[in-house]
A and B are shown apart, each in its own frame.
Chain A
Amino acid sequence: MMKKKFRLTDPGIFVWVLLVAIVIFSAVANPVFLRPRNLKNVFLIQPVGLGLASLGQAVIIISGGIDMSIGAAVSLLTSVAGGLYRDFPGVSVLTVFLIISAMGTVIGLLNGLLVVKLKIAPFMATLATMSVIQGGIFIYTKKTIGGIPKSFRFIAEGSVGPVPFCFLYLAVIFALVLILMNRSRYGRHLYAVGANEWVASITGIAVDRVKLSAYLIGGLLTGLASVFLAGRMGGGGPLVGKGYELDTITAVVIGGVSLAGGDGNIAGAIGGVLILSIFSNLMNLLDVNPYIQMLLKGLILITAVFFYAAKTAKAKGQEA
């Protein structure tokens, strides 16, 4: 294998360059950005929910799939967390944590089975699950269920010394996923399957099992994200996760992960999430009109995708 040359425009690097650029710009644009309290919000707390869900989305996308059901799953799981406390006051934090994580994994299993066993295209399969879950939520509850107690909210609001607990929560899970994806044989298989299923299968990789496992991991991570979000919102409701699937895809794409599968670093997803988090904070600090915000967000996405597409085209050209 040829040793890769290092370039700032490499997708795995570009996201971090973009991140540093936006940090520097924010610091210059408004001094409030550098206030410790603001930095703590923007780096350590606000990115946690989207960060965890985007890690899941990234694993699935790298395996060659996509998950459109994340938003509905977040709505369902946070609602159930609220519902558990409503119906069983005094339930332990650990029990709720385990139930929500398990339910997330089951949703992942469902998605995985539709894709692997019924051979439904991932986009359609997970779009269908989205609709099924959304319907299910409305049967379960039409209203937001609040009232999650402080003990559970510790996950989102508590601190260990000066460090917010939720940051540690994200950091540990991120480290585990990073090791799994970048340092294990399983991770290599996942990339191989995402890049080319047929080639992967003739090299002896159990393609179906690998694909299924990607959805399981994705579902688990959605569950873990929902645990944080339920704590952060103090409850859940039928609409609270709306649009989350698109946000995770945006973060993952900005992070340099190819939607075609098999390419990109999982860490990029976190970079993408941080960029979105800082961007949103900056827009608030500068008091930018909401319509302009949407427009600028689109421009960031296009810039990232443009860089990556140009890079891929060039790489393909060199191969030929």
Chain B
Amino acid sequence: MKKGLSLILITLLMLSLGAAVFAGGQQDAAGKDEFVIGWSNAGMGDSWRQFLKANFEAEVAANPEIVKYYISDANERPEKQIADIDDLLAKGVDGLIIYPTVGDAIIPAVERAYESGIPVIVFGGSINTDSLTCLVTQDLYEFGRSQAKWLAEELGGKGKIIMLSGIAGNTTAEERLAGAREVFDANPGIEVLDHQYCDWSAAKTKTIVEAMLNAFPEIDGIWADSGLMSWPALQAFEEAGRKLVPSTGDQLNGYAKYVSEKNVPAYLYPMSTRLSAEAVKVLVAAMKGETVDKKVAASFEGMGPEAIKKFVKPELSDWWWVGDDQMPAEFLPRL
């Protein structure tokens, strides 16, 4: 009995392996007018990612030649994303969009996809390879630089600040930080009291900022790479009975609501979720055989106190993303 069953199991596995060994060829997308596309997404953990997906889906709907799309989720892990990309290729997509977990840790898979002959668009991160159709990106050094410039000017070039970053080692966080440091290093009047990674977590930010408030009797400004951190940081200031100070963040509605309500100077630099829609546009062009640039750098404008008052959505969720909601209502995330 045991031997018989083991034999069956082993035979079945061997058959699968045998079939696996003789891998087949690739599909050809050229000359089609109906497309199936795949999006290898990094993860779906927060409302920003929901807006990214909403903008993607709205743009897909606006392009009737896309008859079907698949989205895979890498759970923020490069090894899973590599497998996801291979899985999407196995499904036979005509074009691929990749939002990288860690750009430089998925290069071989991106190259494999590109070499299979389909257009490959990477967006929202940096990646060190030319084997792709187009890199749609936002300059993250400029993101940090722009925030830091505003803060330095707001403080009149003189003051003590704290710096709050996202996740250590995360490309987005590190590039924003590097851009900001560039500016502060060039401004000798700005003293950086402390820099900490707060993981884009409100709870962690509060704990860290409470400790900073105890350590430093004078803090004149907050550089945070995201509203996810400048907002709880300001709340910690308020709870400690300290004067609210100028701060930087991104286009998070809750943060925009808070600073406009408290009438405290702030600067929002958008990490636009419209980037996914840009990626779809470029992909469609490439699939139709049009020539597309190797690199598309989308640029955005920061919002100072006046612009914030204009764009803030007081009636909507704190987790809304200011300015990213320019799409038909049925695609808007329900938050």
Contact in complex: A240, B171 (CB < 8 Å): no
The contact string, 1 if C-beta is below 8 Å from chain B, for chain A 214-236, is 00000000000000010111111
CA distance A49 to B79 in the complex (A): 9
Contact in complex: A237, B87 (CB < 8 Å): no
Closest 4 CB pairs of A and B: A146-B104, A238-B169, A39-B20, A290-B73
Interface residue from B17, B77, B105, B170 paired with A234 (Cβ < 8 Å): B105
Q: Does B148 contact A (CB under 8 A)?
A: no
- Overall SS of chain A's interface: helix
Interface residue from B44, B83, B90 paired with A37 (Cβ < 8 Å): B90
Interchain nearest-CB distance for A279 vs B (Å): 11
Q: Show the binding face of A for B, using Cβ within 8 Å.
A: 6, 8, 13, 16-17, 19-20, 23, 32, 34-46, 49-50, 78, 137-138, 142-147, 153, 156-157, 162-163, 229, 231-240, 242-243, 277, 280-281, 284-285, 287, 290-291, 293
Q: In B104-150, which residues have CB < 8 Å from any A CB?
A: 104-108, 112, 128
B21 contact set on A, CB distance < 8 A:
36, 40, 44, 162-163
Interface residue from A49, A144, A153, A235 paired with B171 (Cβ < 8 Å): A144
Interchain nearest-CB distance for A49 vs B (Å): 6
Contact in complex: B108, A156 (CB < 8 Å): yes
CA distance A290 to B40 in the complex (A): 12
Contact in complex: A36, B9 (CB < 8 Å): no
Q: Does B334 contact A (CB under 8 A)?
A: no
CA distance A49 to B76 in the complex (A): 17
Q: Show the binding face of B for A, using Cβ within 8 Å.
A: 1-2, 5, 9, 12-13, 16-17, 19-24, 43-44, 70-73, 75-80, 82-84, 86-92, 102-108, 112, 128, 167-171, 174
Q: Could you name 8 residue pairs across A and B whose Cβ atoms are closer than 8 Å?
A: A6-B5, A23-B16, A37-B90, A44-B17, A142-B174, A143-B171, A232-B82, A284-B84
Contact in complex: B105, A36 (CB < 8 Å): no
Chain A-chain B contacts (Cβ-Cβ < 8 Å), number:
152
Known: A39-B19, A143-B174. A237 touches B104 (CB 8 A): yes
Interchain nearest-CB distance for B250 vs A (Å): 21
Contact in complex: B91, A285 (CB < 8 Å): yes
Interchain nearest-CB distance for B74 vs A (Å): 9
Contact in complex: A37, B128 (CB < 8 Å): no
Contact in complex: A35, B24 (CB < 8 Å): yes
B128 contact set on A, CB distance < 8 A:
146-147
Contact in complex: A232, B104 (CB < 8 Å): no
B9 contact set on A, CB distance < 8 A:
16-17, 20
A147-B128, A233-B79, A242-B76 known; 10 new pairs, CB 8 Å cut-off, are A39-B16, A137-B169, A142-B174, A144-B102, A235-B105, A237-B104, A237-B105, A239-B169, A281-B87, A284-B70
